[in-house]
Amino acid sequence: MQAEKQKIISPDPSIKFKQVHNRLPRVLIGILVILVFLFDFLSVYASKFIGSPYMDGSVVSIGIILAFFIVIAIVAVALYYIYRVNSAWLDLRKSPDE
Amino acid sequence: MNNIYLFSSLNSLKPIVFLLLLLPVSAGAASVDRPLNYSAIVTFILFITATLFITRWAARRTRSRKDFYAAGNAIGGFQNGVAIAGDYMSAASFLGLVGLMFIAGYDTLYFIVSMTLSWAVVLLLIAEKLRNLGSYTFADAVSVRLAARPIRILAASGTLAVAVPYLIAQMVAAGTLVEALFGLSYVQGVVFVGLMMTIYVTFGGMIATTWVQIVKAILLVAGGTILAIGVLLIFSFDVNELARSAVNAHPQGIAIMQPGLLYPDIVSVISLSLAFIGGTAGLPHVLMRFFTVPDGVQARRSAAFALCIITYFQVVVVIIGLGAIVLLVGNEEFTEGGLKVIGGSNMAAIHLSQITGGDVFMGFISAVAFATILAVVSGLTLSAAATVSHDLFAGVIRKGSCTDAEELRVSRLTVVILGITGVLLALLFEGQNVAVLATLPLVIAASTNFPVLLLSMYWKKFTTRGALVGGYVGLSLAVGLIIVGPNVWVQALGFDKPLFPYAYPTLFSMGACFLCAWFFSVTDKSQRAAAEARAFDEQLTRSQVGHLGPG
């Protein structure tokens, strides 16, 4: 089974497969790292803005809301990646038969 | 009447439960005279009984090296995800983060955001490739195309430098927790943890360690969830009201919703983020878990489940932390005024559990916290034993020519030695500030293991020379800068000012590792370097083979 899979990929790996497994994760992680560092920089250099309430009458700051959305974004990106990897796998499985 | 019967029964159980504890303890180790929490003891008895049964069951299934190190590659993606989450959700990430939230509010978010990202890094960049390239330790994956012997020595150095301090920190925490909660002495607590982890790992190997982690993770998430619901119930599930009450109660007021109480400068913040982002992906006991699943697909699944569980738990921790501020600050029963919690800020979650659920719930949470430590030290011990027996003994000393039985014997012997050494060092560190021991592992993992593993998987021109220089420079800088930093130089050694101002030196140590790895790789014109570059494409294919399935 392993040998068969290796045989499929080695000589002519699907471009989409390669992109999904090599380029896509790097791009997604790059975006997420930038997002997290942006949060870090804003927290240090724009602490007044980031520490102000996100709406009138609330004590919850913009930074807390931002952190919450970043966490959601990270989970969403992880799920998107899995969706893409699965799609690429299904495409690759179809192609030798077609 | 029933209560009296129950209590007398529990009293009669006490000597049986802690028989194992009392046996190895010297006569001089006097027990601390404190009231016992029976709920804690019952929960703990159940946990120990269940895990000993698991170990017995696992011992019958542990026949080969593959079973011992990698649970026969037979753990499912979901189970492994829960076990990974259990490995990662240590006492530090539960008691410590709640305590941090209690003290510093907003700045805890740096930890939470970085921890979440760290799991995305593991999922997207590491998990599948590691599983497809390696067998038992991450050195297997790195040495696919790089020179095996020096790489294994480097990996073993990185693994032991992470595992040993982490082990001591956990055991010191266990001793302190036992002293505070179970009415036993520090020595008894430490000896008990050492004994149990040795039993789990020696007899049950990775199978037992995995299932112990699963049981503990379920208990921890359930306990945390109940605690958070208890807090939210008080505020009729109005998070805004909870936050407002926390601001009103905290001595720092609205400042707990703003950054800067703990980490005011950018270098500290970025270093902290890097320590978590890279450190998680370089923790050997976490990486080793990816070899317990059958293929890369399940490895990916494991990381995804772990990400979801850990993220959920962090949200729970934030709620518990806010609840602790509201219910503990100014409460004379649990604080000595202001933010000075009796037993230290790490006890905030434990005290909160007593307020929300009484002695019974407090006992449950305490026992879960202790079980957490027990499970984490088992995982750490197994990873350290694996690197000694598989990387050093089999890979370096015997150059791959030893039998399964010999390697297993060395591994089990290492577990026993680690158990004894861990107990002795934890006794030596009694009463010492072990914050540095908790800082070291993540920084070292981020500055040595992670860069070497990442570059070996993704950079064609990465060479053995680059890996060795980068890895050792990262390791030395991480250890050196922590020693001259505020945690050791000032707090432990008593000097007035640190020689290096930052508690987390990751920005410098990790940066130096990457820089040296790059420089000494691109300037390496040897034949070996050329051969290693040529082998990259084959390695890339191999890293993709096996994960051709839906995750």
Distance from CA of A47 to the nearest CA of B (A): 6
Average pLDDT over residues B405-413: 92
Asked if residue B112 has pLDDT above 60, the reply is yes
Distance from C-alpha of A85 to C-alpha of B547, rounded to nearest angstrom: 9
pLDDT computed for residue B16 by the predictor = 35
pLDDT in tens, B85-97: 998 887 777 888 8
B109 to chain A: closest CA residue: A67
Distance in Å, alpha carbon of B109 to nearest chain A alpha carbon: 7
B7 pLDDT tier (thresholds 50, 70, 90):
very low
Mean pLDDT value across residues B28-49: 67
Q: Does A92 contact B120 at a Cβ distance shorter than 8 Å? A: no
Alpha carbon of B543 to those of A6, B326, B539: distances in Å?
A: 10, 50, 6
> A71 in contact with B at a CB cutoff of 8 Å?
yes
Q: Give the residue from B258, B302, B309 with the most A CB atoms within 10 Å of its CB, the best one to mutate.
A: B258
d(CA B306, CA B93) in angstroms, rounded, equals: 14
Give me the helices (H) in B89-237, please: 91, 97-104, 108-121, 127-133, 138-142, 148-181, 186-234
Q: Report CB contact under 8 Å: A29, B307.
A: no
Map out the domains of chain B as residue ranges: 33-544
- B378-401, pLDDT tens digit by residue? 889 999 999 999 999 999 999 888
| Mean per-residue pLDDT of chain B | 86
Helix extents (H) in B62-107: 65-70, 77-88, 91, 97-104
Binary contact (B259, A63; C-beta < 8 A)? yes
Helix (H, G, I), strand (E, B) or coil at B147: coil
DSSP category for residue B32 = P
Q: Cβ separation of A82 and B300 shorter than 8 Å?
A: yes
CB-CB under 8 Å, B117 with A33: yes
Model confidence at B322: pLDDT above 50: yes
Terminal Cα distance for chain A, rounded: 20
Residue in chain B nearest A52 by alpha carbon: B258
What's the pLDDT band for B438 if we cut at 50, 70, 90?
A: low
**B186-234 and B148-181 helices cross at what angle (nearest 10)?**
80
Q: What is the pLDDT, as a whole number, of residue B21? A: 38
Which residues is B125 bridged to in the sheet?
none
Cβ–Cβ contact A14 with B under 8 A = no
Give me the CATH topology for the region B33-544: Sodium/glucose cotransporter (1.20.1730)
Q: Pick the residue with more confidence: A53 or A2?
A: A53
CA angle B82, B163, B470 (to 5 degrees): 110
What share of chain B has pLDDT > 90, as a percent? 56
Q: Which of A74, A77, A90, A93 to mutate to test the interface with B (most CBs of B within 10 A)?
A: A74
Q: Which residues of B touch A61 (CB under 8 A)?
A: 106, 257-258
Which pLDDT score, from 0 to 100, does residue B171 have? 86
- B positions 214-253 inside 8 Å of A (CB): 239-240, 243-244, 247
Q: In the predicted model, what is the mean pLDDT of residues B448-477?
A: 96
In whole angstroms, give the CA distance from residue A81 to residue B512: 31
Select the residue from A82, A86, A87 to test the B interface by mutation, using most B Cβ atoms within 10 A: A82
Interface ipTM: 0.85
User: Which residues of A fall within a CB distance of 8 Å from B128?
Assistant: 21
- HEC profile of B182-220: CCCCHHHHHHHHHHHHHHHHHHHHHHHHHHHHHHHHHHH
- Cβ atoms within 10 A of the Cβ of A64, count? 23
Strand partners, A53: A61
SS3 state at A53: strand
Cα–Cα distance for residue pair B458/B124, rounded to 1 Å? 12
Asked if the C-beta of B274 comes within 8 angstroms of chain A's C-beta atoms, the answer is no
* Structure confidence by residue, pLDDT tens digits, A52-91: 999 888 899 999 999 999 999 999 999 999 888 877 766 6
H helices, E strands: number in chain A = 5, 0
Q: How many CB atoms lie within 10 A of CB A30?
A: 10
Q: CB of B422 within 8 A of CB of B110?
A: no
Residue holding tokens 């471009």?
Answer: A15
**pLDDT at residue B430, rounded to an integer:** 78
Model confidence at B32: pLDDT above 50: no
